[in-house]
Amino acid sequence: MESVRAVLIDIDGVLTVSWQPLPGAVEALRELREAGLALALVTNTTSRTRASIAATLESAGFWVATEDILTAPAVTAAHLAERSPGARCVLLNSGDIGEDLDGVTVLDATDSGTVPDVVIVGGAGPEFDYAALNRAFGHLQRGARLVAMHRNLYWRTEDGLQLDSGAFLIGLEQAARTEAEVTGKPSPAFFEAALARLGVGADETVMVGDDIESDVLAAQRAGITGVLVKTGKYLPETHRAAGGTPDHVIDSFADLPALLRRSAQ
């Protein structure tokens, strides 16, 4: 990592849990900025807009701005604009992310007369009830494409691990005999978008995450150095059963500046 110029940082489970800063995370992020590294906070969070995330992190003491944040909804909007301009979409998601879906035509998902071209699956919550999932299943049977913002099975909150939309996505794919186009992590396009935003190469970049598959190994497949933190959703059994080995493993994000210093020597 002698030539690191940029760091991609997952938010939930790395910097915060339930939006509360993890120990040492605020100070570590400040240290990276003061070292002159380019930073992007890359998240599959689908319950908040980029502006809302930035405001919440700033109020918690993090030195961030909206332009520092890349979300799965924002990448999804770009994906649809490029590959399906004008597509009529229904959205199954918990949270208001309309601001980050600029240019996407979102129909009323509860209207029985709705005939979408695309079903977009975001993050899970109370909205993922039988009726909503069954409507999505019906649209897919009638030929709608399935676009998923991520495949996360769960995430960690202050109340422990919580089920996420990846668990429902598997069922929709199997029942409708289709495969989702994934736009957030671990999609290569997500990492490519982050690198392009920072103007750096993969070999100059480090990705820090708590999800060994979607954050770390996916980044490594894109040529980015992967750093796994033992916070958030990290589980030893998931680490042992993973499909690859992280480039680096540290206890928490607070340890990242020291790791980068050691690697540069």
Segment 154-209, tens digit of pLDDT: 888 888 889 999 999 999 999 999 999 999 999 998 999 999 999 999 999 999 99
Burial of 102 (0-12, 13-18, 19+ CB in 10 A): exposed
The residue that leads in pLDDT, 262 or 147, is 147
- First-to-final CA distance of the chain: 10
Give the closest residue to 45 by CA, choosing from 109, 124, 110.
124
Helix (H) or strand (E) holding 227: strand 225-229
What integer best gives the mean pLDDT of the chain? 94
- pLDDT for residue 105 is more than 90: yes
**What's 6-44+185-264's CATH class?**
alpha beta
| Contact status, residue 118 vs residue 81, Cβ threshold 8 Å | no
Which residue in the block uniquely carries the two structure tokens 């030539």?
3
| Contact status, residue 127 vs residue 153, Cβ threshold 8 Å | no
- pLDDT for residue 1 is more than 60: no
| Contact status, residue 73 vs residue 100, Cβ threshold 8 Å | yes
**Pairing relationship of beta strands 105-106 and 16-17 according to DSSP bridges:** unpaired
For the chain, residues classed under CATH 3.40.50.1000 are 6-44+185-264, 85-182
The residue that leads in pLDDT, 99 or 259, is 259
Helix (H, G, I), strand (E, B) or coil at 203: helix
The answer, as to whether pTM is greater than 0.85, is: no
pLDDT score, position 109: 83
CATH code of the domain occupying 85-182: 3.40.50.1000
pLDDT score, position 37: 97
